[in-house]
Amino acid sequence: MAHEAHHKSAEHHEEAAKHHHLAAEHHSKGDHKKGHEHAIKAHEHSVKAHDLSTAAHKASSEAVHAHN
């Protein structure tokens, strides 16, 4: 469980980074509507990554305590 959650978290971090870059590109070109859309997508992926990372950490901690 923890391994999969870490993997999915990393995927969402990568997607967030991609959308942050796209937002910056659109903003620099003056297309603030598209920039805002990508910023929202970046935020959504960041939140999902955080949630998965938190779940992975909790699962890892529980696994460690179960083996002690």
SS (H, E, C) 31-53: CHHHHHHHHHHHHHHHHHHHHHH
CA torsion, ordered 4, 63, 48, 45, to nearest 10 deg: -50
Instruction: Please give the model's pTM, rounded to 2 decimal places.
Output: 0.82
Mean pLDDT of 19-48: 98
Neighbours of 56 (CB within 10 A): 20
The string of pLDDT tens digits covering residues 29-39 is: 999 999 999 99
